[in-house]
Amino acid sequence: MAIFGAAAEKKIVAQAKKQDAAAIKAIYDAHVQYLAAVCRRYIPGDDDAKDVLQDALIKAFTSLESFSWKGPGSLRAWMRRITVNEALMWLRRNASSPLSGERPEDLGEQPADEDPDTDGVPLEVLQRLIRGLPEGYRSIFNLHVFEELPHKEIASMLGISEGTSYSQFSRAKALLARKIKEYRKNGK
């Protein structure tokens, strides 16, 4: 189903607040694919990503009454925040290694300060490459690039120092840049 127009979305949200099953399904259909992409960018495993996405949608639909529609895109942004939160909570519960200590040895002590050249790289590939980043790098990269959080807040959120957030983001960026180069070179 295509994304609704502003008036239609507002109306559908109002109906969904009244627990109109059709309206809820309409919202689900309109946003689930986008939210699935967001979720998978944080959670590498498909089964885990499905569980996290389901939890996020449950939370969104059970608290829809408190949502105040503020214009086109506000609903998606709201649901996205919930999804990212759920993803971070899942990562916390299932962390394989501490965020602050993770550092792939092949990057070396001083990774090159190089921005990833994403021009011409298919989004599916970029998504895969980002999903392939080490867990700590991936979370910080997503929070800084896609959620636009400053490092100070990322540090506060993840319980690390601001400096660690900076350095891990730099490493994530360098690693992504290298992976993109390898993709361009090898096609995979």
Closer residue to another protein, CB minimum distance, 70 or 184: 70
Closer residue to another protein, CB minimum distance, 109 or 115: 115
Identity of residue 142: N
- Burial zone of 128 (CB within 10 Å; 0-12 exposed, 13-18 middle, 19+ buried): middle
Q: Name the site residues for another protein (rule: CB under 8 A).
A: 17, 19, 21, 24-25, 28, 32-34, 36-37, 40, 46, 49-50, 53-54, 57-59, 61-68, 70, 78, 81-82, 84-85, 88-89, 92, 95, 98-101, 115-118, 123, 126-127, 143-149, 153, 156-160
Closer residue to another protein, CB minimum distance, 54 or 104: 54
CA distances from 89 to 54, 69, 77, 135 (A): 14, 26, 18, 13
Give me the least distance between CB of 168 and another protein, in Å please. 11
Give me the least distance between CB of 88 and another protein, in Å please. 6
Question: For residue 19, what are the contacts with CB-CB under 8 A and spacing of at least 6?
Answer: none
Give me the least distance between CB of 154 and another protein, in Å please. 8
Give me the least distance between CB of 17 and another protein, in Å please. 7
C-alpha closest to that of 33 among 74, 69, 80, 65: 80
